[in-house]
Amino acid sequence: MENETDPSMFASHGEFLKPEISNTVQIRPKILYFGTPVVLIATADGRGNVDLAPMSSAWALGNTVVLGLSVLGKTLENLKATGECMLNFPDQTLWKNVEKLAPLTGKNPVPFQKMGTFRYESDKFSAASLHPVPSEVVKPPRVKECEIQMECNVRNIYKMSEQDGQLAAIVEVNVIAVYANKKVILDDTHVNVKEWKPLIYSFRHYFTLGDELGKSFRSET
């Protein structure tokens, strides 16, 4: 059976035996961004001031998107204040715009932990040569240049314990509307994966998708 354990894999004292694999060594990566899509998350505070920030810790399950965010940034502060956001997904052509946003923060004064690395910027859209477009339901705007955009409401916020000096939070958001450029869709229920090339962040380097290798048995296209 799949879940049964092979007793030969354990030593008599109960410790797991290390497999003898000559081409494998233990490493200690400084970061674990093993390859995830970049998201430009737009939020607004209670007075309507907009913030735009790049992030790469995001994954979807059904209509829920789970976000990993620093507790030091303006994004989490705005999410707590208003409970809504816009998730904008850039393609590979926008990596330089994303990188322009990377050293910016919407917090003024700049948090002590970010001093020397980040600088305050009130108008991040202009700083990154991007353009805001009004949203339909939530207050934070869409990013015109991003071909896929999702309007979201906050469902839950969980504070994580401090690890390696990093303070982070997990945020669950509910997707209430999705918008897509006509050139990257097949119809109103399917994205054209041959046209949509999301920007991927892998170990602090920017990539995009390569050639299609195949498709899941559940694919409808």
pLDDT tens-digit map of 28-47? 988 888 889 999 999 999 99
Domains annotated for the chain, with CATH where assigned, are 30-208 (2.30.110.10)
What confidence category does residue 19 fall into, taking pLDDT thresholds of 50, 70 and 90?
Answer: low
Q: What percent of the chain has pLDDT over 70?
A: 88
Q: What is the pLDDT of residue 9?
A: 45
Query: How confident is the model over 128-157, as a mean pLDDT?
Result: 98
pLDDT of residue 202: 95
For the chain, counts of helices (H) and of strands (E)? 3, 16
More confident residue, 116 or 6: 116
135: left (phi over 0), alpha (psi -120 to 50) or beta: beta
Contacts of 15 (CB under 8 A, 6+ apart): none
pLDDT value of residue 7:
46
Torsion of CA 208, 212, 215, 219, to 10 degrees: 70
pLDDT at 214 over 50: yes
Q: Using one digit for the tens of pLDDT, what is the confidence trace for 108-140?
A: 999 998 899 999 999 999 999 999 999 999 999
* Helix residue ranges per DSSP H, the chain: 74-82, 95-101, 124-127
pLDDT of amino acid 2: 42
pLDDT tens digits for range 175-203: 999 999 999 999 999 999 999 999 999 99
Task: Please tell me the pTM assigned to this model.
Answer: 0.86
Instruction: Render 104-129 in DSSP notation, one character per residue.
Output: EES-SSPPGGGBTTBEE-S-HHHHTT
pLDDT score of 155: 97
How high is the mean pLDDT of the chain?
90
Q: What is the pLDDT of residue 89?
A: 98
Q: What is the structure's pLDDT at 6?
A: 46
What confidence tier does 93 reach under pLDDT thresholds 50, 70, 90? Answer: very high
Rounded average pLDDT over 144-154: 98
CA 55 from centre of chain: 4
What integer pLDDT is reported at residue 162 of this predicted model? 62
The predicted pLDDT at position 12 comes to: 52
Beta bridge partners of 59: 66
**Rounded average pLDDT over 5-30:** 64
